[in-house]
Chain A
């Protein structure tokens, strides 16, 4: 009789604790995962052996697209507002409170400052369809320099400047960006790369 009882006991295992654990981990990874921000332009980064991890706060990222357009991005929403106000004051462009708010939450941009109010008035999905011309960074009209200066003023002690160049972009544009930084006495900056793996190299 005892033998029969053993036979009848269910072979299925109680999975509840395992599921609990699995969902706990899923929740943890979901909350800690930093989602990749929307980029105004796709940048294919070059590879390097460097293993320094880019800090994920207090940074200005200058992206250079394949076709030479320059984009600017800074984190910290509060500081972005102040930067835009300073920038507007210098270039004689005024921004409404709504425009400032939508500037604070948007991602990187590549638009001359005079065209910014119009761009900020658009709905977010409309903005994605706009072909952004890039920020002027040449010696005649160097708005990039002003963005960098005002961006740095909002957080002078900690901010780091990183250049995210496309691997196929021309060195000429990169040189313009680097010279801009050197002229503003920014001699230390980062170049964003991907880690090189021997198989892919």
Chain B
């Protein structure tokens, strides 16, 4: 298109001054800039939306419910780290069957450091995650994420029992012997 116009322009060079010839010289070119602007705007939009909108997912495998008590695996109590997910983003933790429970949080220096330290001390560490009904779903995802980050291999989500409730509230005499022997 541009070439044709230039040719027309060259032809008109010799006949300077003629009004009719001037009209021929008028460009038939369309300014494509706004169209290009729009095209690139759309292009940018589609590129951004298509790459940044992919939801990620965590794979979770839960243990089946064991009906027979004898099928349950026995674990040394010293290998167990209990983690209770409390309300207001608090984490209570204690080792094995020896309370009192201590409190930490979801920050890098909180639960992540604890898990890394415990993992280093004891490679056979088993983490029992006990979410309270008051805790948020975000807490559960966070703690599962921390397991992944700290490369904790053995962990399980288990039910929060009244005994656990007694432990985190500090009433140690309420703890029944059932927990002690489990």
> Which A residues contact B (CB, under 8 angstroms)?
8-10, 12, 14-16, 18-19, 22-23, 25-26, 29-30, 32-34, 36, 45-54, 64, 162, 165-172, 174-175, 178, 181-183, 185, 187-196
- Contact size class for B? 35 or more
CB contacts under 8 Å to A, within B1-38, are: 1-2, 5-6, 9, 29, 32-33, 35-36
Residues of B within 8 A of A10 (CB): 2, 5-6
CB distance from B98 to the nearest CB of A (A): 26
Determine which of B9, B33, B58 lies in contact with A191 in the assembled complex, contact meaning CB atoms within 8 Å: B58
Contact (Cβ within 8 A) B55 A192: yes
Interface assignment of B133: CB less than 8 Å from any CB of chain A: yes
Task: Indicate which residue in B133, B134, B137 contacts A167 across the interface (CB closer than 8 Å).
Answer: B137
Q: Which residues of B contact A12 (CB under 8 A)?
A: 2, 29
Q: Is the CB of A172 within 8 A of B64?
A: no
In Å, the complex CA distance between A188 and B61 comes to 4
Show 18 residue pairs from A and B whose CB-CB distance is below 8 angstroms, ordered by the A residue: A10-B2, A18-B36, A22-B43, A26-B42, A34-B50, A48-B148, A49-B145, A53-B55, A170-B133, A171-B135, A181-B62, A187-B61, A187-B63, A187-B64, A190-B59, A191-B60, A193-B57, A193-B58
Complex Cα distance, B49 from A45, in Å, reads 18
Q: Report yes or no: A171 in contact with B59, Cβ–Cβ below 8 A.
A: no
Task: Give B contacts to A, CB under 8 Å.
Answer: 1-2, 5-6, 9, 29, 32-33, 35-36, 39-40, 42-43, 46-47, 49-50, 53-65, 85, 131-142, 144-145, 148-149
- Contacts between the two chains (Cβ within 8 Å), count: 148
Complex alpha-carbon distance, A192 and B138, angstroms: 11
Q: Are A194 and B55 in contact (CB under 8 A)?
A: yes
Q: Identify 18 new A-B residue pairs, CB closer than 8 A, beyond the known A26-B39, A30-B42, A49-B148.
A: A14-B1, A22-B43, A32-B50, A36-B53, A46-B137, A48-B141, A48-B142, A48-B148, A49-B145, A53-B56, A54-B57, A166-B137, A171-B135, A174-B137, A174-B140, A182-B65, A193-B58, A194-B55
Residue of A nearest to B139 (CB): A171
A25 CB to closest chain B CB (Å) equals 5
